[in-house]
Structure 1
């Protein structure tokens, strides 16, 4: 059961859903679309940085059991919060109410990652907080805007199709991080050493 819930946060599912939301937003309001993409990229860059530092350089805070920010939890919290807020808003509801459902999906994903022994509690808390921050920085201006979302039924159908096709697949991102991180850290360390 926990693996099935954990799959909701896999990048193979959440990134296509995020892209679908970005396209929907682009057809509705370019500024909101750019905001969404920039916020998500910034959040995932922070997650990636912690993963590279741990996998390549061995950086961790062992006293609290923190190695990396949980990417599944971050993506699940950010993407589902925004997707559900957009869907809720498109039906005439308040985007903030829809966002609460997305935040709950993020909490369930965090529990799944801990029960699957993929992450520690501090790692999923960091992931949930980061995902919630990304989502809040998007949902707040969405809720205050007067933007009319483009063809809500078509967008909802698109999100359903993407979710159905992508669910259960796994992105090879962690394998790539494990493979390339030692080289990245070695080059960064050499650059820092040469500078000093």
Structure 2
């Protein structure tokens, strides 16, 4: 069961959803699209840096059991918060309620990652915090805008289709980090 919950944060699902949101936002209001991509880029960069530092350089904070920021947790929290806010906005519903649901999806993903022994509590707390900041800042920006979303029913259908096709697949990002990060650390030493 926990693996099934953990899958909602896998990059194979969340990154296509995030890109579909970026396209939807680009068609609606390019500034919102840039904001979304920028914020998500910061979140993913923070996750990536910690993963490279740990896998390639062996850097961790053993006192709190911290090796890396949980990417599944960060992506689940930020992407689902944004996806739900956009769908709720398109339906004329409260985006603040959508935000709460997205944050809960991220928290459940965090619990799943700990119970699957993939991460320590400190790692999922870091992932949830980064993801929540990305999601909340984006939703705040969306809430202040008066943008009418482009074809909300079609966009929501596309997001549902992506979820149906991508759920359960796994992106090879961690394997690539494990294979190549030592080269980056060796060049900086």
Q: Secondary structure at the match of 1:146?
A: coil
Length, aligned pairs only: 189
What is the CA-CA distance between 1:94 and the residue it aligns to?
A: 2.3
2 CA distance for matches of 1:180 and 1:86? 36
User: Per-residue deviation at 1:96?
Assistant: 1.7
RMSD over aligned Cα atoms: 0.6
Partner of 1:83: 83
Secondary structure, aligned partner of 2:67? coil
Instruction: Give runs of ≥4 in structure 1 deviating > 4 Å.
Output: none
Q: Secondary structure at the match of 2:169?
A: coil
Find the aligned partners of 1:188 and 1:71 in 2 and give their Cα distance: 24
Aligned position for 1:70: 70
Give a deviation string over 1:116-175, Cα, whole Å, max 9, x none: 000000000000000000111111010111110111110010000000000010000000
Task: Tell me, in whole angstroms, the C-alpha distance in 2 between the residues paired with 1:63 and 1:37.
Answer: 34
8 Å CA contact retained: 1:94, 1:143? no
Query: Displacement of 1:107 after TM fit?
Result: 0.4
TM-score (norm 1): 0.95
What is the match of residue 194 of structure 1? Answer: none
Q: TM-score, normalised by structure 2?
A: 0.99
Structure of greater Rg: 1
Residue 15 of structure 2 is aligned to residue 22 of structure 1: no
